[in-house]
Amino acid sequence: MTEVGGMMQFGPGATTAPVPPLVVEHVAKSYELDGGRTVPVIGDLSLTLGEGEIVSIVGPSGCGKTTLLNTLCGLLAPDAGRIRWHGREVAGQPQNVGYMLQKDLLLPWRTALGNTMLGLEIRGVPAAQAEDRCRAMLDQLGLHGFADHYPSTLSGGMRQRVALARTLVNEPDVLLLDEPFAALDFQSKLLIENDTVDLVRKGRRSLLLITHDLEEAVSLADRVIVLSKRPTQIKAVYDIALGADRRDVISVRQAPGFSDYVRSIWADLDVVLQ
């Protein structure tokens, strides 16, 4: 089950198939400790993220999920293997990729609107146009009336919505999210998950979601990839077929088969209770 890129077609006829936005082939990454000892973090990892696809990655604690994400974004260079965005290897940061972490990373000196505008501002979009787009995005995420609030006056859920708006307003083809909702209470989490999935599916964007939360992984994704302990490899892949309307993460949790997926993934994780 380790080869997930198997659906890629090479040779004649491959040109007709759309190029997936992200293909990872045999990526390996290790860290060097102060003593000169190297610790392999990612052993050998291959995966494909198709257009409009939502893929969740789960794995035991400390299995290098965040290293994987930073490698994909070009913040770290892999020791081996290839990462192709829309069929091309890029040096540095890939274009049109949105990145979001558990920490909202809002700049405290900027209002919700100012934070949302950050990406457009950096790319030199005219201020008036950027502001219109950002206000519309904040409205869409239920933050109408909060655009001029500083982050320190917003709740955790609202701050994470602002972070989501900051990511989505750049209209990324691919979103890389690293436990973005882990710090939120259950209700805020469900609501923001729902909005995220809705906007991602509507925009035909692709989403790679790293999470600890198995129910979140199953309810959001088309596919769940289970990673092994370090050095990380793919342990199992589940295609989630739940039939229900996949834009409603709350009703998906009630779908028959949902808890079976969660249970098998939990078994795969092989968590030893002390």
Partner 1 sequence: MTAEIDTTATPSAAKGPIDRAAGMGRRWLRLRGTLGVLVTQLVVLAAFLAFWEYATGQNKAAAFMFGSPSAISKFLSQMAYDGSLWRDTYVTGLETLLGFFVGNCIGTLIGLSLWYSRFVSRVVEPFVIALGSIPIIALAPIIIIWFGTGLISKVAMSTLSVVIVALVTSYKGATGVDPDQINLLRTLGASKFQIFRKLVVPASLTDIFAGLKLTVGFALIGAIVGEFMSSSEGLGHAIFKAGSLYIIPKVFAALVATIALALILTFAVGKIEQLLMPWRRQLR
Residue 178 C-beta: closest distance to partner 1, Å: 10
Rule CB under 8 A: is residue 169 a binding residue for partner 1? no
Rank residues 183 and 191 by Cβ distance to partner 1 and give the closer one: 191
Rule CB under 8 A: is residue 157 a binding residue for partner 1? yes
Rounded Cα distance between 167 and 192, Å, is: 14
Rule CB under 8 A: is residue 139 a binding residue for partner 1? yes
Identified binder of partner 1 from the candidate list 9, 93, 254, 259, rule CB under 8 A: 93
Identified binder of partner 1 from the candidate list 99, 181, 238, 261, rule CB under 8 A: 99
Rule CB under 8 A: is residue 183 a binding residue for partner 1? no
- DSSP designation for 30: E
Rounded Cα distance between 207 and 51, Å, is: 9
Identified binder of partner 1 from the candidate list 43, 119, 159, 165, rule CB under 8 A: 119
Rule CB under 8 A: is residue 181 a binding residue for partner 1? no
Rounded Cα distance between 52 and 57, Å, is: 16
**Structure tokens given for 96:** 């049109």
Q: Among the candidate windows 25-33, 51-59, 99-107, 219-227, which touches partner 1 by CB under 8 A?
A: 99-107
Rank residues 14 and 107 by Cβ distance to partner 1 and give the closer one: 107
3-state helix, strand, coil in the chain (%, to 5): 35, 25, 45
Q: Among the candidate windows 16-24, 183-191, 202-210, 259-267, which touches partner 1 by CB under 8 A?
A: 183-191
Identified binder of partner 1 from the candidate list 17, 31, 62, 144, rule CB under 8 A: 144
Question: Cβ-count burial of 87 within 10 angstroms (0-12 exposed, 13-18 middle, 19+ buried)?
Answer: exposed
User: 140 φ, ψ to 5°?
Assistant: -60, -30
The sheet that has 174-178: what strands, in order across it? 80-85, 22-32, 38-49, 232-239, 223-227, 54-58, 206-210, 174-178, 97-100
List residues binding partner 1 (CB under 8 A). Answer: 70, 73, 75, 93, 95, 97-99, 101, 103, 105, 107-110, 118-119, 121-123, 139-146, 149-155, 157-158, 170, 187-188, 191, 194-195, 198
